[in-house]
Every structure is written in C-alpha cells, then in structure tokens.
Amino acid sequence: MTQNQKGKKDMLRNKDILELKRRFKKESCTITRMSGCYVNSDKDRVVEFNENFLNLEDEEFYKYLEIAKKSLSGTIGNNLLKLDFQKNEEEPGGKQQYLLGLRESGLKNPELLSHLYDIIIDNYDYVGNYLILVFHDAYDVITKTNDDLKIDESEEVFTYMICAICPVNLSKPGLGYREDQNRIGARIQDWVVGVPDVSFMFPSFIDRSTDIHSITYYVRDAKDSHREFIETALGCGAKRTATEEKRAFHSMVKTAIAPYIENTDQVMIGIQECLNEMVEENEAAMEDLIIVEPEELKLDTDIIKEVLTKNEIPDATVAAIQENFKEEFSDQPPVIKNLVDEKAIEKNNKEMKEIRLLDEVASLKEELTQTKQENEENKEKIETLVKMEEPVDPEKAKTWAEVFLRMKPEKASQVKSETIDGKRYILIPLEEDEQINLNGVINTEL
C-alpha cells in the first residue's frame, strides 16, 4: 500500500516514528543530501550550503544527525502533531504540490530551496538568529509479517524530507585557557546552533507507508505550537498541542466558576479526577475488546455537563461553559486524556493522604490523653478503696479519732458533717435497701 490509500484518518504511531529514528546511525543512515541557510536577526541570509550528507566529517555528521533525530522526538499529540493539508493546498500551485516537487528534486534545485527559505523567513516569528536545515532521505521499507518478523523484500521506498529550524545563540561568556597568549583569560564567544525549535517531516510516515496528505510537525515548546506558521508557511490546518488544549480548557472553566468559587484549583482537581476515571474506563473497555490502538475519547458537551454536575457546578454556569466550549473548540474537540494533569492529581492525592494521617495522629493523641486521664482516675479510686478496706489497729485509731468508719468509696462522698445543738454529728444518708454493719453487727433499726 503506497501514498496512504487508507486516507487521512490514520494516526501517528510511536512505532512508526521509532522505526525511522533507529536508522539515524552512522552504519544505517541513508540521508543523501543536506542543505541549509543561516538567517540573522534582521532576517537576512548570511550563508547557504548544500552538501552530500554522507561525505561530511564525522564530527559534523553526528551533530547534524542528532538534529534530524531531535526533529522526530517528544510525545505524540504534544510535541509531535500530524497536520493535514488544507484542501486548496493540494491543488496545483498549493503548498503540498510545491513540497512534492522539492522532495522529488532531492534538494538539488536551488530555486525550490530558495523558495522554502523565503517562506520560512517571512512566516517564522522569532527574534534572533537561526539556522534552517533540510535533510533528504529514502528509506527502503522492509516487509513485515503480522507478528512483526521482517522479510527481506521491499514494500515501498519512503522518500521524505525533514526541515528543522534551529536557534543560533551566542555562547555564554567565561574564562578559559588562551593558548595563543599562554594565560587564563576571557573565553572567545561564538555562535552555537541549538536543538530545533520547530521542524516538520514531509510526507508523514503512517502505518509504515507514505502519506502525502499530511506533515509530521514537531514543536519543542508544547505551550506554543506556532499556529500562524502552521497555516501560512505549511498550508495545514492548525492543531493545538495537548498542553495548549489543557490550558485553554482550564482557563475557560476557571473563568466561569471564579465569581462564586474561591478555591478554583480544588474544583479543577475534582473535574480532572472525573475525566481521568472516564479515560481509564474507556481504556479498560477497549482492552476487553482487544483493540490494539483504540480511538482516544474526546470531550463533548454531554461529558462536560456530566462532569461539572458531579462537582456541584450550578446549571446556569454549566450551560455557559458548554457554549464557550463549542466556540473555543469548534475546529476540533480535545482528547480528554490531554486535559488531565496527572501530576496535579498525584500531588493532591498525596496532600489529602498527609491530611488524613495528621487527623488520625491527632485523634490517637486525644484517645491516648483520655485513656491516661481515665487510668489516673481509676488509680485514685483503687487507692481509696484499698485504704478504706485496710484493717485499722485500735490503739493507733485512738490517737487520731474516736470514731472509725468504713464504707464503699461511692458512699463516702455522701457523708456530711453538721453541728446540731452544739454538737457535731456525722450524717450518712441511707437508701431503703441499705444496711449498717456496726462493729460487726448488722443493725436494721437505725
């Protein structure tokens, strides 16, 4: 199958990207040519070059190869996006047709290369110097069986280009050994080529086949996909990165609930937990159906209502968020998984666990204090009871009292002393069923 007869719905897969990147080694590299254009901060072309890639010195070869490899790095859906050409760009004179011509030329047509440089210089919004690099490669795709065993015959030849835009910055100042002067002095600063800020591969490599209807686009900073560059320079429909989707959705919800909810971050955690549960349930269902690469669950207004209602968001606010969602994501609904900040959920779960542990410790301390107090009280009662029940030596008793009473501790608290007609009396209240043992004789008449 060639030219991606399956159509535009095919997705980027890690296994396809890795298959290409594994070839970016000295012994297996088949990159034929490399061209470049160094642009200064005034958007002037400083130098251009076009070389046979395999003839480069090893030191340069590996540096350039690392840039090509970096252009296919990162997470699919965040740093790597599959961009489809707008319909008019696939017609004669469109950008897809131009890129096809540049690919077929093998980077040997100076006019086509110059046109590419002009497109990038006119549309790439960057303050500073940068280097445009273009690599041309042809990969003889080996046939694979269903169990991924290779068969030594070609399925097709995947011919493609990688274009990388790399910032060029002045090296940091510092001290170093000045060999020409045989002393330590200020190090000579020079201009250093950095890793790609933006790059693209044309055509895309989808399901181990050529897809001329799309570009594989790389952006180093997923917070900014350079939407204008995608549309104007590449002629593709702009697409948000996962990070951009998350930021846009979170901002939309927070703005709507902020007027009446103080802790919006905590509400967002609750919303994300609900969304994460949906993702996990969907993935589990796909596993049960034995779907190797399931379609990712996307957000819609019904899901928004369900999730926000669970988090006790008022109906009027839910309706407003649904309308904002339709407007914000009219071009393409976001993948739910992209909206979930797993690190934030994990951090929140950790904090909640710590709070629960602190509460448990405080509760245990309180129980310990109560138990200690009860033990002290019981100890006092026992000591009082023991003293009351100890036999008293009559001789000793005479030295401190004429009357000796013995009773249970709970009864002792009821004993009162009063003076009647000038004499002191001890008053002991008796219940109807209580008896008095006086000197060993039970007296029921008192």
Q: Are strands 150-170 and 198-202 parallel, antiparallel or unpaired?
A: antiparallel
In whole angstroms, give the CA distance from residue 295 to residue 300.
15
Q: Look at residue 391 in the predicted model and tell me its pLDDT.
A: 58
The residue among 301, 324, 340 that closes a domain is 340
Q: Is position 361 within any domain?
A: no
Q: Is position 350 within any domain?
A: no
Q: Is position 349 within any domain?
A: no
Q: Do 233 and 290 fall within a single domain?
A: no
The residue among 340, 369, 387 that closes a domain is 340
Q: Do 140 and 234 fall within a single domain?
A: yes
What pairs with residue 400 in β-bridges? none
CB 246 within 8 A of CB 339: yes
Q: Do 209 and 291 fall within a single domain?
A: no
Q: Look at residue 242 in the predicted model and tell me its pLDDT.
A: 93
Q: Look at residue 112 in the predicted model and tell me its pLDDT.
A: 96
User: Phi first, then psi: what are they for 208, rounded to 5°?
Assistant: 60, 35
In whole angstroms, give the CA distance from residue 180 to residue 176.
12
Closest CA to 245 of 265, 266, 225, 271: 225
Q: How many domains does the chain have?
A: 3
What pairs with residue 248 in β-bridges? none
> How far is the CA of 92 from the CAs of 96, 159, 237, 272, in angstroms?
9, 21, 18, 46
In whole angstroms, give the CA distance from residue 429 to residue 89.
109
Q: Do 115 and 162 fall within a single domain?
A: yes
Q: Do 274 and 158 fall within a single domain?
A: no
Helix, coil or strand: residue 330: coil
Q: Is position 215 within any domain?
A: yes
In whole angstroms, give the CA distance from residue 61 to residue 146.
36
Q: Do 162 and 258 fall within a single domain?
A: no
10-residue mean pLDDT series, the chain (446 residues):
45 92 90 96 95 92 95 94 94 94 96 96 94 96 70 81 96 83 84 95 94 96 94 93 93 90 87 90 76 74 93 92 91 88 79 78 83 76 61 53 66 80 82 73 61
Q: Do 256 and 148 fall within a single domain?
A: no
Q: Look at residue 249 in the predicted model and tell me its pLDDT.
A: 93
DSSP state of 226: -
Q: Look at residue 291 in the predicted model and tell me its pLDDT.
A: 55
Q: Look at residue 233 in the predicted model and tell me its pLDDT.
A: 95
In whole angstroms, give the CA distance from residue 286 to residue 279.
11
For the whole model, what pTM was predicted? Answer: 0.72
Q: What is the residue range of 334's domain?
A: 245-340
Q: Do 41 and 119 fall within a single domain?
A: yes
Q: Do 301 and 205 fall within a single domain?
A: no
Closest CA to 205 of 35, 22, 67, 34: 22
Continuous segment of H or E residues that includes residue 374: helix 342-389
Q: Is position 1 within any domain?
A: no
Closest CA to 81 of 233, 248, 253, 201: 201
Q: Do 261 and 297 fall within a single domain?
A: yes
Q: Is position 136 within any domain?
A: yes
Q: Is position 202 within any domain?
A: yes
Cβ neighbourhood burial of 35 (10 Å; 0-12, 13-18, 19+): buried
Q: Do 280 and 232 fall within a single domain?
A: no
Q: Is position 7 within any domain?
A: no
In whole angstroms, give the CA distance from residue 85 to residue 91.
10
What pairs with residue 437 in β-bridges? 442
Helix, coil or strand: residue 283: helix
Q: Do 113 and 232 fall within a single domain?
A: yes
